[in-house]
Amino acid sequence: MKKLVAVAIAAASISAFSVPAFADPEYMAGAPPAAPVEEVPAPRAGFVWIPGYYDSYNGTYRWNGGRWEKERHGYHWRSARWENRNGRYYYKEGGWDHSPG
């Protein structure tokens, strides 16, 4: 039992400091491509359309198509975006923001 605990602790400590092979860079050097035209489906009661966006994967831009997300009362969706800071593009993930009032 002591060996099993020791092995588990060792494995956990190694994985805590390792960087996954699929880790994306903090920024991209070039601007993302123009977004493809998406056909937005007809509205669905109780759902919000989340537009498609580019993220980064293995040093390249990867398109993620739009999707429906269950509506959250008192919140609005903030779309994912890329911010240009001196020629480096930083990804800002989309998410729900609280709507005042």
Does 16 fall in a domain?
no
Mean of pLDDT values over 47-66: 95
Does 55 fall in a domain?
yes
Does 12 fall in a domain?
no
Reduce the secondary structure of the chain to three states and give it as a string. CHHHHHHHHHHHHHHHHCCCCCCCCCEECCCCCCCCCCCCCCCCCCEEEECCEEEEECCEEEEECCEEEECCCCEEEECCEEEEECCEEEEECCEEEECCC
75: tokens are: 């919140």
pLDDT for 31: 94
Domain count, the chain: 1
Q: How many CA atoms lie within 13 A of 9 on its CB side?
A: 6
Does 49 fall in a domain?
yes
Does 10 fall in a domain?
no
Does 36 fall in a domain?
yes
48: tokens are: 């919000």
* Mean pLDDT, rounded, of the chain: 82
Does 4 fall in a domain?
no
Q: Which domain holds residue 70?
A: 23-98
Give the global pTM: 0.69
Parallel/antiparallel/unpaired status of strands 95-98 and 47-50: unpaired
72-88 pLDDT tens trace: 999 999 999 999 999 99
Does 14 fall in a domain?
no
At 9, is the pLDDT very low, low, confident or very high (cuts 50, 70, 90)? Answer: low
17-42 pLDDT tens trace: 444 444 445 789 999 999 999 999 99
Task: State how far the Cα of 76 lies from the Cα of 8, in Å rounded to an integer.
Answer: 42
